[in-house]
Amino acid sequence: MRWIAVFLIGTVSVAFAADRPNILFIYGDDIGYGDFSCYGGEVDTYHIDQLAHQGVRFTSGYCSSATCTPSRYSLLTGEYAFRNQSAQILPGNAPLIIDPSRPTIAAFLKQQGYATMLSGKWHLGLGPADGSLNWNEVIRPGPKEVGFEESFHMAATADRVPSVYIRNGRVVHLDPADPIEVNYKEPVGNEPTGLSHPHLLRVQADEQHAKTIINGISRIGYMTGGHAARFRDEDMADTYLREAKQFILAERDEPFFLFFAPNENHVPRVVHPRFQGSTSLGPRGDAVAVFDWCVGELVEALEEAGELKNTLIVISSDNGPVLFDGYWDGAIEQQGSHDASGPWRGGKYSRWEGGTRVPFIVSWPGRVQPSISDAMVSQVDLYASIAALLGKPMPEHAGQDGRNVLPALLGESDTGRSYIIQEALKQLAVRKGNWKYIPPGSVRERLGLNGWKQTNVEEPGLLFHLMEDPQEQIDLAKRYPERVKELRAIIEQEAPGKGVGKKRIDKKQLGF
């Protein structure tokens, strides 16, 4: 009987290990539904396509918001960002907007015995709420206080100062004799800016992006000091990747959670010389190629560590695409027939479908059933679904808006959530089935170099049937008033007061 007991114990151990896979989120920036070749894009994304063919490729996968900070907030907290007024596009010196007492998915997994790491973009604020952040000392609260044991990241975005890396709360390579100072309201120091010294720029920029020049590129905001710590844009992908691979290859007994969030393809799109000109789409296409290369390198590291078959990989993006976003890098002129939003209208900043419907791929060799799924899933669901995978209850005050869509993520069901809430600049929309409703307000849409098109939505709002009208051109609101009432009621239930009203959005308040 003893051998039976040993066998059973061994079987339980294997099952337990299988139910505690490593978890790897690969989170793109400004990558649209149509940017990967497996979604019809013109850039050959071989490594991503391989994972898509071996896993589940969702055609109705969503981020929660059409801009970066809110989506990242929702991904980590399982809460819609519109519930947190601070969850909007943040300057580089904003305080942390996640309450450390509220468990994130990183904190939850750490509690379950996972090693946790962030490598890449953060953009969720750093330091105390009173704004007393000092870049030259230990920076906290930050990623560590919300669950990441290890972190290597920038403060906000590559186009916002401070242009430095931060490792576990300290600026990397900071010279104490050259302290950093950052200001988003007025100049600090006497360094050249894109406005005062445009001849020093490698990429011309609009006025918002024309402040302190670092690495020949002007940024949003003013910075002085920290010269030895300043990053070089061309090396950014390699740098984040190196840190991530070291984490994967580290010897440990416990499973790991890695949140890999590279810059690609957020502006400024200044990739390493070995990728420059690698695609026909200019710097933006080259950045997509860099992202795909990073995916391939991470898969190779997992194989080297013997962990690929026990790793749940999720690939997605924080919002839809944007071609021109402050720098004249030729993205519009060189796009050719490539449509970064795929069949959908709009992109970043927009309540149109292309603002939040993004690539969404789940791979777990041997566990995920390969398929193309139209189940509706949202990044806000990942927290609850992973908790279900581990067989653990959600922590109190965490993940309130997520749904357990684990069967869909594993390719075992075509059923996801029943409706999707979409946000853009604090205004909402909802999709249920093939119906999409946009309440009264405004819808922004980037129109190339010519600025923005703003559609003012009057009562009773806009109603579209996405299967028949993916470009959201034919308003059916007056024809189907009961459907409008049904969808409007969903928004009122989720966010009372958000389903009506025509309040204009202050673009300066939101970080433009």
Helix (H) or strand (E) holding 237: helix 236-249
Look at residue 499 in the predicted model and tell me its pLDDT. Answer: 63
Q: Where are the beta strands (DSSP E) in 85-187?
A: 115-121, 150-154, 166-167, 170-171, 181-183
Q: Which two tokens stand for residue 169?
A: 């709360």
pTM: 0.94
Count of beta carbons in the 10 Å neighbourhood of residue 149: 17
Number of H helices and E strands in the chain, helices first, is 9, 22
Look at residue 4 in the predicted model and tell me its pLDDT. Answer: 38
Could you tell me which of 418, 433, 437 has the C-alpha nearest to residue 487? 437
Cβ(408)–Cβ(375) below 8 Å:
yes
Rounded Cα distance between 144 and 133, Å, is 16
Look at residue 13 in the predicted model and tell me its pLDDT. Answer: 33
Peptide bond into 496 cis (omega under 30): no
Q: Which two tokens stand for residue 381?
A: 């669901």
Q: Which two tokens stand for residue 438?
A: 């946009």
Distances 406 to 23, 74, 160, 329 between C-alpha atoms, Å: 14, 17, 36, 40
Enumerate the β-bridge partners of residue 257. 23, 116
3-state helix, strand and coil shares in percent for the chain, rounded to the nearest 5:
25, 20, 55
For 440-482, write each residue's pLDDT tens digit.
Answer: 998 887 776 667 788 899 999 999 999 999 999 999 999 999 9
For 369-409, write each residue's pLDDT tens digit.
Answer: 999 999 999 999 999 999 999 999 999 889 999 999 999 99
Q: Residue 312 has what DSSP assignment?
A: E
Count of beta carbons in the 10 Å neighbourhood of residue 458: 10
Q: Which two tokens stand for residue 230?
A: 């300043």
Q: Residue 124 has what DSSP assignment?
A: S
Distances 496 to 339, 380, 492, 500 between C-alpha atoms, Å: 36, 20, 4, 9
Could you tell me which of 272, 288, 278, 297 has the C-alpha nearest to residue 119? 297
Rounded Cα distance between 429 and 356, Å, is 10
Rounded Cα distance between 220 and 214, Å, is 11
Beta strand 377-378 with 61-62 is parallel
Give Rg (Cα) of the chain.
22
Per-residue pLDDT of the chain (512 residues), as tens digits, is 334 333 333 333 333 344 799 999 999 999 999 999 999 999 999 999 999 999 999 999 999 999 999 999 999 999 999 999 999 999 999 999 999 999 999 999 999 999 999 999 999 999 999 999 999 999 999 999 999 999 999 999 999 999 999 999 999 999 999 999 999 999 999 999 999 999 999 999 999 999 999 999 999 999 999 999 999 999 999 999 999 999 999 999 999 999 999 999 999 999 999 999 999 999 999 999 999 999 999 999 999 999 999 999 999 999 999 999 999 999 999 999 999 999 999 999 999 999 999 999 999 998 999 999 999 999 999 999 999 999 999 998 899 999 999 999 999 999 999 999 999 999 999 999 999 999 999 888 777 666 778 889 999 999 999 999 999 999 999 999 999 999 999 999 999 876 654 443 444 433 33
Rounded Cα distance between 416 and 79, Å, is 17
Could you tell me which of 23, 67, 75, 59 has the C-alpha nearest to residue 381? 75
Helix (H) or strand (E) holding 291: helix 282-304
Rounded Cα distance between 231 and 466, Å, is 43
Cβ(433)–Cβ(415) below 8 Å:
no
Look at residue 453 in the predicted model and tell me its pLDDT. Answer: 81
Domains of the chain plus CATH, in order, are 23-168+234-409 (3.40.720.10), 425-494 (3.30.1120.10)
Could you tell me which of 89, 90, 71 has the C-alpha nearest to residue 81? 71
Could you tell me which of 288, 266, 264 has the C-alpha nearest to residue 338? 288
Q: To 10 degrees, what angle do helices 46-54 and 282-304 make?
A: 50
Rounded Cα distance between 410 and 433, Å, is 21
Beta strand 170-171 with 181-183 is unpaired
